[in-house]
Amino acid sequence: MDHSTHHTSAAHDHDAHPAGHAQASGAAHEHGHGGASWSTAVKATLHCLTGCAIGEILGMVIGTALLWGNVPTMILAITLAFIFGYSFTLFAVRRAGLDFKSAIKVALAADTVSIAVMEFVDNAIIALTPGAMDAHLSDGLFWSALLGGFAVAFVITTPVNKWMIGRGKGHAVVHAYH
């Protein structure tokens, strides 16, 4: 996925940062001393949500189709959400020329908190929705709880990402590589 959509200013000079620069001060330059813009946080959260949603839906569909219990299905869904969430960043920074080991470090730094918050909130919504854990793929409740959980997770994770990016953490570490 193209991380260039995270920028709020076309004037940001990518060449001013060396290839290995972790961007701790770059977020302050890009967003001022007050932190990241809401637009940047929304774009970072949508990026994270896309990978998480693909992985989680795939895990829920696989577990449900195989008639697994709730716990193994959720474990698979959460695992795949992290894998797909990290992979979007991993592929983008690899495309920018980073070696595999460094790309993994950047993906972990950029996405771990965002994915963790998103998965916690989303799965809590699903677990707390009466009947959702026992719904089947053909049930509207299955899909409404899952998609509703994503919506609530997005609303809660966006301010977390805003706070982190404003401090040079989270998705801010990716900006040095594009």
- Token representation of residue 32: 């001022």
Q: Is the pTM of this model over 0.95?
A: no
Q: What is the mean pLDDT of the chain?
A: 80
- The CA angle 82-98-46, to the nearest 5 degrees, is 40
Report the pLDDT value the prediction gives residue 28, as an integer from 0 to 100.
40
Please state, in angstroms and rounded to a whole number, the distance separating the CA atoms of residues 115 and 109: 11
> What's phi and psi for 130, nearest 5 deg?
-55, 125
Does residue 176 contact residue 17 with C-beta atoms inside 8 Å?
Answer: yes
Q: What is the pLDDT of residues 143-162, one digit of tens each?
A: 999 999 999 999 999 999 99
Q: Which of 100, 106, 104, 117 is nearest to 41 (CA)?
A: 117
